[in-house]
Amino acid sequence: MKKYLSLLLIIIFPFHPFAIHCSGNNVGGWEYINIIHYFRHNPRWFIADYFEHHNIQYRQFDCCFNRCAIGYSPTSWLKMAVGYDIMRSNHNWTNRLVPEATGSFAINKVRIAIRERYQYAWCPAMSQDSHELRSRIKAQYHIPQTHFTPYLATELFTTDARWTKLRYYAGANCQVNQHVDIECYYLYHVFRNSDSKHIVGLGINIRI
């Protein structure tokens, strides 16, 4: 496992000084840990806990949230889940309800996954709520006889039938063992009404 962690640090480390010395708030890092458990007697059902932290310039702690979710896979190609988020951003706490469905299929050796995620958010302190639809398509390919699965993805955010954000991902997962995999990615984050951002992400997925 140390070998794979060292490789990921070598990949990500060059972005760090670039982020610190870049002017403005256009560069940052996202880190996450995702723990998922499939029920032994009925593995179609699963529960998960996901924690993600966002920072800007690797110095400003901008946002973090925790999501508890329960999901069900009625078929081998379809997965459905509903999650509840508690998020802290700009010194305010926000609640989010997050149902989603993901369908996947293979074209030759490339795996395609299409996810639709709806987010209803409300912030009691500001008496505000919002509705958002997130549509993502992801293509990944497992390199034979290795632990690596690179991928490309794009995600569209819409509110009131108008797009608000776009995300473009390029990343890879590294399978450490049957219970753990590590993910690193680059994200180009486009906003309709503000400057774009460059994000470097690192996460760990744990299956228990």
Q: pLDDT digit string (tens) for 98-129?
A: 999 999 999 999 999 999 999 999 999 888 99
pTM of structure: 0.86
> Please, what are the domains in the chain?
2-207 (2.40.160.40)
**33-to-18, 165, 198 alpha-carbon distances in Å:** 24, 24, 21
Lowest-confidence range among 1-10, 124-133, 193-202?
1-10
